[in-house]
Structure 1
Amino acid sequence: MKGRMISPGKAAGEALVSRSPLSFYGGIDPKTGIVIEKGHELEGECVKDKILVFPQGKGSTVGSYVIYGLKKNGVAPAAIVNQETETIVATGVILAGIPCVDKIDINKIRTGDKLVVDADNATVELVQG
């Protein structure tokens, strides 16, 4: 799948997919990487080392610093794939050095799929589904 590079880099891993937007500020614990947003479909899941797939971010601009905090604490996703990366997520992944690609049809990806993200070439490859 060809998209648009938001933050360069390469990563491979297991997809963790949300069909709804994700808030980093108040939605993910920056110390543990666990989704804490009440009622969110990923509540209780850990983003550490996953390819985090979601349509777009939501919420406060502080979310950018939460993404950076996840990286500093060693609990960040290996990469992020979005339908549309808005400025909160874009700023966070660039600050943290997390590969990120958007303009991807995330409906083709399911939790547990093995993905290779090559943000340098703006591609997301489904290796195993």
Structure 2
Amino acid sequence: MQKTIKCRKISKGYAKGEVIITKDPLSFLGGVDPKTGVIIDSGHELYGEKITSKILVIPSGKGSTVGSYVIFQMAKNKTAPKAIISLKAEPIIATGAIMAGIPMVDEPDADILNILKTGDIVEVDADKEVINILNEGF
């Protein structure tokens, strides 16, 4: 089954991969270890999970502007997510995604936090402003 969800391009590019999803906003500064790609914020829903090479789905980002540089460092370390899908992009994560060359979209026209599940396979085509759910992990 494939479902296409329209969205808005934040950072150009295309990625296909496995979803890791959270309903908690994420701070990259102090929330993610840029050396390992693991969530280190002990209060976060994804604590201990690795976001490297996954399609990260979040409601929004939070925290310091230094978070942009953490995302950039993750890309240099090859620990970054393949793409980021956000309900509402905010400047910190948007800037980091653009600097790091990570495809990022926001404003999906469907309730992705309740449609997608960790393990689903999706395509993020930021240039075409679509998210394609390729196979839902159930």
TM tier relative to shorter chain? over 0.9
Please state how far the C-alpha of 1:39 moved relative to its aligned partner.
1.9
- The residue aligned with 2:129 is 122
Q: Deviations along 1:79-120, whole A, 9 cap, x unmatched?
A: 000000100011000000000010023221111110000011
Q: What is the root-mean-square deviation of aligned Cα atoms in Å? A: 0.6
TM-score, L = length of structure 2: 0.92
Number of aligned residue pairs: give it. 129
C-alpha distance in structure 1 between counterparts of 2:117 and 2:98, whole Å = 25
Give the letter aligned to residue 5 of structure 1. K
1:22 and 2:26 are equivalent in the alignment: yes
Instruction: Find the structure with the greater CA-based Rg.
Output: 2
Give the percent of matched residue pairs that are identical in Structure 1 and Structure 2.
53
Please state how far the C-alpha of 1:20 moved relative to its aligned partner.
1.0
1:13 and 2:17 are equivalent in the alignment: yes
The 3-state SS of whatever aligns with 1:23 is: coil
Structure 2 stretches of 5 or more lacking a match?
none
C-alpha distance in structure 2 between counterparts of 1:75 and 1:106, whole Å = 24
Please state how far the C-alpha of 1:122 moved relative to its aligned partner.
1.0
One of 75, 78, 101 as aligned partner of 2:79: 75
Please state how far the C-alpha of 1:38 moved relative to its aligned partner.
1.0
1:106 and 2:112 are equivalent in the alignment: yes
Give the letter aligned to residue 35 of structure 2. K
Kept in 2: contact 1:35–1:44 (CA 8 A) = yes
TM-score, L = length of structure 1: 0.98
C-alpha distance in structure 2 between counterparts of 1:116 and 1:89, whole Å = 20
1:85 and 2:92 are equivalent in the alignment: no
C-alpha distance in structure 2 between counterparts of 1:7 and 1:100, whole Å = 5
The 3-state SS of whatever aligns with 2:56 is: strand
1:2 and 2:17 are equivalent in the alignment: no
Give the letter aligned to residue 117 of structure 2. R
C-alpha distance in structure 1 between counterparts of 2:95 and 2:86, whole Å = 14
- The residue aligned with 1:39 is 43
One of 24, 38, 60 as aligned partner of 1:56: 60
Structure 1 stretches of 5 or more lacking a match?
none
